[in-house]
Amino acid sequence: MKPEMITLKHGDATIKMPASSLAKLALASTFALVLPPASNVQQITAHSVPALGAEWPGQGGINGGLVAARGDVPAHYLIIAAKDVGSLEWGGRGVEVKGLSKTDGYTNTQVLIGNDDERKYPAADACAEYQAEGHHDFYLPACAELYHCWVNVPDLFAKDTWYWSSSQRSAYGAFYMNFDDGYQDYTGKYGELRVRPVRRFFI
């Protein structure tokens, strides 16, 4: 049985097609007008990115600037929590934790909070427990990420104190940052320094 054919004419143009094909096209056109696109993901545009140091609505904190892709970590914005979570010990004095880096605070924090030794890591734990605007993926920044904060938004941090990074120097020390002059050094893990959580917003 031959399909029912329909002929469409517009000016000098003529199209002949099966009625079923025309019906599918008509339905598809209707849905395209009524429904949003399947990949209705809001794209980040230059005008939608808050200024450095400004709150980023819905992201749980403040825009700390764009971080270039490095290794397996794609490019992302660093979102800085609006406030410190206190002064805490780094923890784990006498233990050299394996798998920590100077650049990847997220992985550092996951290693520290998942470490199976009996010692606690208060600074990393506090950051991992921090939540804002429905986001529960904050972490203790690595020393390179703290330096990124000093370059971009130093005024978000207290100048009369030091901030822990998640980067380890040795079994007894870890790196910290001073936001008054950008000085980085290391000190004993038992010291109680300021702690500020951050998270990543991938673009």
30 and 70 in one domain?
Answer: no
Which of 97, 78, 93 shows the shortest CA–CA distance to 156? 78
41 has pLDDT over 50: no
| Per-residue pLDDT reduced to its tens digit, 7-32 | 656 566 555 556 665 555 555 555 44
pLDDT of residue 36 exceeding 80, the answer is: no
**Per-residue pLDDT tens over the stretch 112-167:** 999 776 679 999 999 999 999 999 999 999 999 999 999 999 999 999 999 999 99
Q: Are residues 66 and 165 in the same domain?
A: yes
Q: What share of the chain is helix, strand, coil (3-state, %, to 5)?
A: 25, 30, 45
**Does 43 map to a domain?**
no
Whether residue 96 is predicted with pLDDT greater than 70 in this model: the reply is yes
Q: How confident is the model at residue 39 (pLDDT cuts 50, 70, 90)?
A: very low
Q: Is residue 20 part of a domain?
A: yes
Residues 135 and 171 in one domain: yes
Residue 39: inside a domain, yes or no?
no
- On whether the CB atoms of residues 166 and 140 are closer than 8 A, the answer is yes
Does 82 share its domain with 114? Answer: yes
Structural domain includes residue 44:
no
- Locate 122 and state its tokens: 């208060």
Same domain, 68 and 146: yes
CB 179 within 8 A of CB 154: yes
Q: Which position has the token pair 């990847």?
A: 104
Q: Tokens representing 49?
A: 């990115």
pLDDT for 130: 98
Q: Which residues of 73-107 are buried (b: 16+ CB within 10 A; e: fewer)?
A: eeebbbbbbeebbebbbbbbeebebeebbbbbbbb
Judged by average pLDDT, the poorest of 30-34, 42-46, 95-99 is 30-34
Query: What is the model's pLDDT at position 19?
Result: 62
Residue 108 pLDDT: 97
42 within domain boundaries: no
Residue 22 lies in a domain: yes
Please check whether residues 22 and 72 belong to one and the same domain.
no
User: In this model, does residue 4 exceed pLDDT 70?
Assistant: no
Q: Given this model, what pLDDT does residue 203 score? A: 86
> Token digits for 14?
């003529």
pLDDT tens string 47-90? 689 999 999 999 999 999 999 999 999 999 999 999 999 999 99
Q: Are residues 124 and 177 in the same domain?
A: yes
DSSP 8-state symbol, 5: E
- Let me know: does 141 contact 128? Beta carbons within 8 Å: no
State the pLDDT at residue 7: 65
Residue 43 has pLDDT above 70, yes or no: no
Give the chain's mean pLDDT: 86
Q: How far apart are CA 197 and CA 192, in angstroms?
A: 16
Are 129 and 62 found together in one domain? yes
10 and 61 housed in the same domain:
no
One domain for residues 19 and 72: no
Check whether residue 160 and residue 197 sit in a common domain. yes
In a domain, 45, yes or no: no
Q: Which domain holds residue 87?
A: 50-202
How far apart (Å, rounded) are the C-alpha atoms in residues 99 and 65? 26
Q: Could you tell me if 99 and 173 lie in one domain?
A: yes
Q: Which tokens in the block code for residue 100? A: 């920590």
pLDDT confidence of residue 115 = 77
* Tally of domains within the chain: 2
In a domain, 80, yes or no: yes
